[in-house]
Every structure is written in C-alpha cells, then in structure tokens.
A and B are shown apart, each in its own frame.
Chain A
Amino acid sequence: MIDMQDAAYGYGAEPILSDMTLRLAPGSFHFLTGPSGSGKTTFLKLCYGELLATQGSVTVFGQDTATLDRNAIARSRQRIGVVHQDCAFLDHLPIAENIALPLTVSGRDGGASDANMRELIAWVGLSARAAAHPPELSGGERQRAALARAIIMDPDLILADEPTGNVDWEMSLRLLQLLCELNRLGKTIVIATHDLALIRAAKAQVQARVLRIADGKLSAAGANL
C-alpha cells in the first residue's frame, strides 16, 4: 500500500526525515508517534503527495508519487482519506458540504443530500450542527467532521493526523471504534498521535503496529507500549 525506499525529506537543506524504508501492507493498522515537531505530519504529507521525497522514493498504490502528474495525484487522493491536522475546511461552506466535498469535486452526484451522508453525520454526532460553518464549530466537532470527510469516499487508505487531539475520551474511543471497523473491512489505516492510551485501546481491538519517529529516523516501536 505504502512503500518507502530510503526516503528523506527536508523543508530546507537539513533533512527532517531520512533513511525511511518501510512497507505498509494493505489492510494493516499503524500508529505513528513521536515528539511534537518530529515530522509526523510531514510523513503523512509524503504519503498523499503534498510533499515529494527529496531523496529516495515513496510509492503509494504501486505508483511512485514523484512520477504522478497532477491529474493522477488528484485521482489517487480520491482513494486516500486524510484527516488533516488543521482540518483543511472551506470556511464559507456549511460543515455538511465540507464533508461532502470529496464527492462533489470527484463529480459524484448525491453529495450532501445522500442518505448515507446523513447517517455518517449522525454517526460523528454532528446532525444538529450540519448547517453550521467550520469557524462556528468547536475543535472536537471539526475533528469529527474531518474524519467524516476522510471516509466519505470509502477510501482504501486512511491517513489521520491527530484525529482525537481535541475530543474527549469517550468520543476518542468512538472514533477509534470506527477506524477499527474500517480496518476490519480491509482498509489500510495510519494514525499519527501522541495519545498512548488510544494506542493501547486500539491494540485491544485490532492488530496495530506502532512506528516511532525520533531524530529524523523512523523505527518500529517495541511491543511494550
């Protein structure tokens, strides 16, 4: 699903991430941890092609992200659900339309009025807030909306950047539950998080591995979390 060969990335001359070689199998469930500023978001951006590796290669769905043209990148993003750390919403559109955005831009009809869409919004507990605009939502509400948007296209790969950073423990567990269910349906999942309790909770439900970024290097964390 995701294949990295000696991949490195630096915003300037100094690389932030280097020597990353890994293979995430289809259907796997990974957590990505590491101190703040260690490069978790950067790692995820490499995976969905917002950044290109400065060295080595990053292959997603069997395609090297560096060789994809702009339309191919757009198409591959339609197969990847991303929960962005900053949520990346359009502030002038109601949250329901923001959630439906991937459907809209890929030309799938139905959009926000779809029954599945309503069910999904209800599932993340936003039915009452569906008409509100993103700036009117709390941080946790935005994160739930972001998760809803990430899965609305029924993607094969889900990348979530701190999806539970601003929600209470109960909601965190519900969101995790959803991700675990999706994983059981065969989706590949990568979650960047600091939340060790969340990782432990997940390990009780699915076979999850933990990747750790420290000092620009990626390593598999031990089972002793």
Chain B
Amino acid sequence: MSVATNLMALLRGEVQADRIVPRTGQTARLTLAVSAAMAFLAVFALALSLASGQLADRWSAALAQSATIRLSAADDQIEIQTRAILTVLSQTPGVTEARAMSDDEQRALLEPWFGPDLPVGDLPVPRLIEIIEDETGFDAAGLRQRLAAEAPGAVLDDHTRWRRPLVAAADRLRMLGWLSLSLILGATAAMITLAAQAALASNVQVLRVMRLVGAQDSYIARAFVRRFTHRALTGAAIGAALGMLAIALMPRAAQEGAFLTGLGFQGLDWLWPLTIPPLAAVTAFWATRIAAFRTLKGLR
C-alpha cells in the first residue's frame, strides 16, 4: 500500500481499527507532551537559524566592498601610482575586482558635504580605489607592505574588515540552528518510537489475536500509526503555536542588526514554523510504522 493511500486512510479515520486497539493513556499523554515540547524548541532553533542567517547575509554583503585605497600624491604621480596599485591588486589573492573611481563618482561621494559644484580636479582630494573581495578576503598586512614599496602615497582603508569573524560566527550559529533542528527531529522520532514500542509491547496479546483472525500487518499497524501521528500532530501544533506566540511577544529594539532582539520571524518567515507540526506528524507516522512492523515480525 502506498504512503499516499495510507495517509488518506489516516485522515479519513478508520474507526474500527481504532477501537480494536485498546486505549493507551500513558503513552498518549507522553507523546503529546514530548511533541509539544519539541515543537516549542524547534520554533526557537528555527528562529535562531533564520536570524543568524539574515545577519550573516547582511554583514557579508557589507563586507564585500569593505576596502578602499586612498591615494594622495603629486599630480604627476597620481596616474603612475594608480596603475601601480591596480597592478598590485590584480596580483593579490582574495581580490575579485579593483577599480579606480572616476572624478564623477568621487564628486557624487563628496556632494553631500561640499555641494554639487565641487571642482574635484583642482582640489587635493585623494584618488579612491575600490576593492571587491572574495569570500576568503585578502591579506591586509601583506598588501600594505607591497603598496608601501610600489605606491608610497597609498593608504589601505579596511576598517570594516573587523566584521569578518562576526560573519563567520553568524554563519556558524546558523549551522548550529539547523543542527539543533535536526537533533530535535531525531529526538522526537526516538521518543515516539519508544512510546510506540511501549504501547505495542503492552498490547502483544491484542496483536496476536488480530494476526490469528487474519489481520494483515498494515491493518494492525494503521491503528497504532494513526493514533501516534494524530497525537504528534496535535502536540506539535500546540508547541509550535506557543513558540510562535513567545517569539511574537519578544521585546524588539528598533536598531537593525541587534542580534538578540532580531531573533524573530519577518514577513513570510512566519510560514516556516507552520511546517513543524506536519513534520512532526510525518516523523511519528514513520517511527510508529517501523516500530509496529518490527513488533509484528515477532508474531506469526
């Protein structure tokens, strides 16, 4: 029988198969509680992953154009040293692109401070060279040494590079978030397997009788699977709802990028925690099904 037919049968509800297997009060409450707790935790792990992911993206975008070189030199030296700098940069590992800004671009940069009619060419404004790095970045100390030798008027300005380790940390945090999510999922599967096995073990006599009167394994398993899937779904829905509520109620600071207060869902991100209850249901479905078939294998 295919999984789809199984799920359909589960949704429709096979009342008779359900009645045949006696109620299992304790494992029912256990499964419900564990699913709720795990879903609650999963919401936070998800929020952590998403928030640190966004942070990492934002910071690394800012990092990509983090470095500039300022060149101040005598008029006749400007062009020569600019070319020397570009040559050095083209040979520097970690530099994706380097480009001297045109007078127009420099004027645009300075406009907010000096107005639109600034005669850039007549002023001792340093020439700016923009550096675009790749992910690994370049070796700033080494570049400085070479620049000192080849273009004495050049100053490497990389003050935003201090964020690089933070981006790495945010990336790591995102990874840990996803890892936590998979651990939570695994733990849920393990707990439900244990609960299902306990329920099955305390009903071995029922399973035996059902086999003796000609019930197929899938029929017997379905009664258990339906119950545990239903409980996991209900528990996870409660847990996820509480988790989302807790996140929605978290105090928020206006400042962008403040990590702790940025722990939350934005816009469509709110759809993510809604996947937790179905995921818990699918996990319970398979965990119980596998446990049921394994138990039944011991009975002829």
Question: A residues bordering B, Cβ < 8 Å?
Answer: 48-52, 70-71, 73-75, 77-78, 82, 84, 88-90, 92-93, 97, 101-102, 104-107, 111, 149, 153
Flag the segment in B125-133, B165-173, B205-213, B236-244 that touches A. B205-213
Instruction: Assess whether A73 is in contact with B300, with CB atoms less than 8 Å apart.
Output: yes
Complex alpha-carbon distance, A123 and B73, angstroms: 115
At the interface, yes or no: B13 with Cβ under 8 Å from chain A?
A: no
Distance in Å: Cβ of B28 to nearest Cβ of chain A: 15
At the interface, yes or no: B157 with Cβ under 8 Å from chain A?
A: no
Complex alpha-carbon distance, A90 and B211, angstroms: 12
At the interface, yes or no: B216 with Cβ under 8 Å from chain A?
A: yes
Interfacial chain B residues near A149, Cβ < 8 Å: 213
Q: Given that A51-B300, A88-B209, A89-B209 are contacting pairs, would A102 and B214 also be in contact in the complex, using a CB cutoff of 8 Å?
A: yes
Instruction: Assess whether A71 is in contact with B217, with CB atoms less than 8 Å apart.
Output: yes
Flag the segment in B16-24, B86-94, B101-109, B253-261 that touches A. B16-24
- Given A70-B216, A73-B300, A111-B16, output 12 extra A-B contacts at Cβ < 8 Å: A48-B212, A74-B214, A74-B216, A77-B212, A77-B213, A77-B214, A88-B209, A90-B20, A101-B213, A105-B210, A105-B213, A105-B220
Q: Given that A88-B209, A105-B210 are contacting pairs, would A71 and B19 also be in contact in the complex, using a CB cutoff of 8 Å?
A: no
The 8 closest A-B pairs by CB, nearest first: A105-B215, A77-B214, A78-B214, A92-B22, A74-B216, A102-B213, A50-B300, A101-B213
Q: Given that A49-B300, A50-B300, A51-B300 are contacting pairs, would A93 and B214 also be in contact in the complex, using a CB cutoff of 8 Å?
A: no
Closest to A87 in B: B209
CB contact between A104 and one of B16, B212, B216, B217 (< 8 Å): that residue: B16
Complex alpha-carbon distance, A48 and B215, angstroms: 14
Distance in Å: Cβ of B19 to nearest Cβ of chain A: 7
Instruction: Assess whether A50 is in contact with B212, with CB atoms less than 8 Å apart.
Output: yes
At the interface, yes or no: B270 with Cβ under 8 Å from chain A?
A: no
A-B contact pairs, 30 of them (CB 8 A): A48-B212, A49-B300, A50-B212, A51-B300, A52-B300, A70-B216, A70-B217, A70-B296, A71-B216, A74-B211, A74-B214, A74-B215, A75-B216, A77-B212, A77-B213, A84-B212, A89-B209, A90-B22, A90-B206, A101-B209, A101-B210, A101-B213, A104-B17, A105-B17, A105-B219, A105-B220, A106-B215, A111-B16, A149-B213, A153-B214
Instruction: Assess whether B300 is in contact with A93, with CB atoms less than 8 Å apart.
Output: no
Interfacial chain A residues near B214, Cβ < 8 Å: 74-75, 77-78, 102, 105-106, 153
Closest to B209 in A: A88
Interfacial chain B residues near A48, Cβ < 8 Å: 212
Distance in Å: Cβ of A199 to nearest Cβ of chain B: 26
Complex alpha-carbon distance, A22 and B16, angstroms: 40
Interfacial chain A residues near B210, Cβ < 8 Å: 90, 101, 105
Complex alpha-carbon distance, A111 and B17, angstroms: 12
Interfacial chain B residues near A92, Cβ < 8 Å: 22
Among residues 1 to 31 in chain B, which have CB atoms less than 8 Å away from a CB atom of chain A? Answer: 16-17, 19-20, 22
Interfacial chain A residues near B220, Cβ < 8 Å: 105
Interfacial chain A residues near B300, Cβ < 8 Å: 49-52, 73
